Structure 1
Amino acid sequence: MRQSTGRHRRTRTLSIAAAVAVASGAGGVYLGLSNDGARAASATVTVTNAAELQSAVKNAAAGTTIQLRAGTYYPTATLKSTANGTSSARITLTAYGSEKVRIDGSKLPDGSWLAGIHGDHWTVQNLTFQNSPAQGLVVTSSVGGVFRNLVTANNGDSGFTLRGDGTTGNLVQNLDSHGNYDPAGHGQNADGIAVKFGSGTGNRITGARLYNNSDDGLDLWQFSSPVTIEHSWAFGNGKNRWNDSAFEGNGNGYKLGGGGVTVAHLVNHNAAWDNTLHGFTENSNRGAIVLNRNTSYSNAEAGFYFATGKARLARNLAVGDKGGRSKLGPSTVSAANNWDSGVATPAFRSKDATTAYGPRKADGSLPATTFLTTGSTAIGSAMN
């Protein structure tokens, strides 16, 4: 699936007609020969409308950068590519400079994904994927992908999905995923981010803000390899915001298993609040999940629900969860959490979440806030 590295001497800004030539190896664009003879284009394609965008994604090749000028794009078919970049000749899909770009799926056929990437070494950044009839952005069996500073909002299923065997070494950084709801399933499938139905090591989610989705903030259903989740927030999930009389959304902040998997995910420095089920749950995953310095606040069920597996919990903080701070099984190891003997519960500087909804910092990182912060870095320091 992966290609050898090519050499690249120059970059040109191409018309969309030249972009097709890049993909076929024709035209006046430099194609560096790799050691095995495969060719990788070094080209920048600037697009200004949906037709150009669809063609550019379809015809992308290793080394191509597709940059979108400001505006809202309405594709009429799923943006789909099976092309592979390489570690030194990535395929990049990005906004032009600091311009604001929305890719809107409201003109897609029912049941369509907005975008599907089925290749290695892609960088997708600084874009919004919204109003899809189904999933917003789906990445399948990807190696070495980077998905940074994205918004996936108001889609008809999960906002962002990683899936498939061989899904290895991907980074999801600074994702905002919110308002996703699947009317066909009455809300039971649309998560903020779903890492599902696959395997592959080295996948990391950091700086995510997953909120007001109909199902869970994050769902790791039937993903059989460890995933690292850190410095992320999940809140307000599982509420019926769509007046669905048959609503079935779950509403966990972090659902860390399910479907018979036994896997030791790593979950550090995250926060979950105001969800309609648990803040953090194993969801029947019997693996040795590691949870350190996470904060759960005011969820409708338990802050930390790990009743059947071998989870390892340390220095976590639960306050105000209606189902109790924790529900733990006999094989769970719990130490230095605020429900353990002799551990004090520090006071929060603020219980007003307003600033947590605010704009991100210039580099895309989560907004500064005093919400749920404490004077201690020893316990529950997710927001500190």
Structure 2
Amino acid sequence: MRLGTGRHRRTGTLSVATAVVVASGAGGVYLGLSPDGASAAGTTVTVSTAAQLESAVGNAVAGTTIQVRGGTYYPTRTLKSAANGTSSARITLRAHDGEKVRIDGAKLAAGSSLAGIDGDHWTVQDITWQNSPALGFVATSSVGGVFRNLVTADNGDSGFTLRGDGTTDNLVQNLRSYGNYDAAGHGRNADGIGVKFGSGTGNRIVGARLYDNSDDGLDLWQFSSPVTVEHSSAYGNGKNRWKDRAFEGGGHGFELGGGGASVAHVLDDNEAHGNSSAGFYVPGARDGL
């Protein structure tokens, strides 16, 4: 639960600093990313190396689709973007059709997250985010995000995080998040999914499986707006699987508030079992669920 920051919203989109316009006309603009050779046609970019992936994410603009070929990628820096899509021209980051993609944080500097999205109207799907030294996937003050069929596993803090004021109308669907553990905090911060330190309506978590994390399955710590959680399960959280002699993992299945926030969250058809503490824990939620 405990640690986190928000941000001030930035407007506009990132410029495509390394994109080269090759041709334009009635058929649209065709882009080629340089110098690493990621191929592009129209607004679709296909990447097959970590360098291409870093470049494509950093240079995405409204309407860009980034297709990642199957394999394991080891970026050397956080995959970051503050670019905004729109409701009709989303920014999409996804695995190439039917291919298995893993983004691995083994080469990141200490304290680095795997992905940090600060923009609106992103779709991210069908990708595993693993072995980050810190947070796995983070979306800050994002609007209209769709995060579907993701896995966040064995990261050094929470697997998946929504945070910041203005976090609005995001859908997290079919997330599987497990094995996340923060050694520096002796397990007290790493949740399967955290919606923390912020506000914003219309956020939904549907079909999540949150298990074997050092702290909680789901943590809504200091998030001051209602969150809807449906058809999700949390189990095996808060158990010391890391042989940490000073282990402090909380181990709630669903921690529904805390830190002063009193919010009526909405839960429907969820289950919790085998956690080290309460399955459903409601600190400070005086207004009910």
Task: Give TM-score scaled by structure 1 length.
Answer: 0.67
Give percent identity, aligned residues only.
71
Q: Take 1:2 and 1:124, find their aligned partners in 2: how far apart are those partners?
A: 21
Partner SS state of residue 57, structure 1: helix
Partner SS state of residue 23, structure 2: coil
Partner of 2:198: 198
Q: Take 1:156 and 1:53, find their aligned partners in 2: how far apart are those partners?
A: 22
Partner of 2:153: 153
Deviations 1:100-143 (A, max 9, x none): 00000011000000000000000000000000000000000000
Partner of 2:52: 52
Q: What is the CA-CA distance between 1:42 and the residue it aligns to? A: 5.0
Deviations 1:176-217 (A, max 9, x none): 000000000000000000000000000000000000000000
Deviations 1:213-269 (A, max 9, x none): 000000000000000000000000000000000000000000000010111100110
Partner of 2:239: 239
Q: What is the CA-CA distance between 1:147 and the residue it aligns to? A: 0.1
Q: What is the CA-CA distance between 1:288 and the residue it aligns to? A: 2.3
Partner of 2:43: 43
Equivalences for 1:339-358 in 2 at 5 Å?
Answer: none
Q: Take 1:261 and 1:89, find their aligned partners in 2: how far apart are those partners?
A: 35
Q: Take 1:28 and 1:257, find their aligned partners in 2: how far apart are those partners?
A: 52
Q: Take 1:148 and 1:214, find their aligned partners in 2: how far apart are those partners?
A: 23
Partner SS state of residue 198, structure 1: strand
Q: CA RMSD in A?
A: 1.7
- Greater C-alpha Rg: 1
Partner SS state of residue 245, structure 2: coil
What amino acid is the match of 1:184? A
Partner of 1:20: 18
Q: What is the CA-CA distance between 1:286 and the residue it aligns to? A: 1.6
Question: Is the Cα–Cα contact under 8 Å of residues 12 and 83 in structure 2 kept in the other structure?
Answer: no
Partner of 1:355: none
Partner of 2:140: 140
Q: What is the CA-CA distance between 1:157 and the residue it aligns to? A: 0.1
Task: Give TM-score scaled by structure 2 length.
Answer: 0.88
Question: Is the Cα–Cα contact under 8 Å of residues 139 and 163 in structure 1 kept in the other structure?
Answer: yes
Q: Which runs of 5+ in 1 are unaligned?
A: 5-17, 32-40, 290-384
CA change 1:135–1:90 in 2 (3 A) is same
Partner SS state of residue 18, structure 2: helix
Q: Take 1:191 and 1:106, find their aligned partners in 2: how far apart are those partners?
A: 20
Q: Take 1:244 and 1:28, find their aligned partners in 2: how far apart are those partners?
A: 58
| Larger relative contact order (CA 8 Å, sep ≥ 6) | 2
What amino acid is the match of 2:156? G
Q: Take 1:112 and 1:19, find their aligned partners in 2: how far apart are those partners?
A: 23
Q: Take 2:63 and 2:239, find their aligned partners in 1: how far apart are those partners?
A: 43
Question: Is the Cα–Cα contact under 8 Å of residues 186 and 249 in structure 1 kept in the other structure?
Answer: yes
Q: What is the CA-CA distance between 1:285 and the residue it aligns to? A: 2.1
Deviations 1:282-329 (A, max 9, x none): 12222221xxxxxxxxxxxxxxxxxxxxxxxxxxxxxxxxxxxxxxxx
Partner SS state of residue 67, structure 2: strand
Deviations 1:143-199 (A, max 9, x none): 000000000000000000000010000000000000000000000000000000000
Question: Is the Cα–Cα contact under 8 Å of residues 215 and 238 in structure 2 kept in the other structure?
Answer: yes
Partner of 1:170: 170
Partner of 1:64: 64
Question: Is the Cα–Cα contact under 8 Å of residues 19 and 45 in structure 1 kept in the other structure?
Answer: no
Q: Take 1:2 and 1:101, find their aligned partners in 2: how far apart are those partners?
A: 31
Partner of 1:287: 287
Q: Which runs of 5+ in 2 are unaligned?
A: 1-9, 30-40
Instruction: Count how many residue pairs are aligned between Structure 1 and Structure 2.
Output: 264
CA change 1:51–1:286 in 2 (3 A) is same
Q: Take 2:112 and 2:144, find their aligned partners in 1: how far apart are those partners?
A: 25
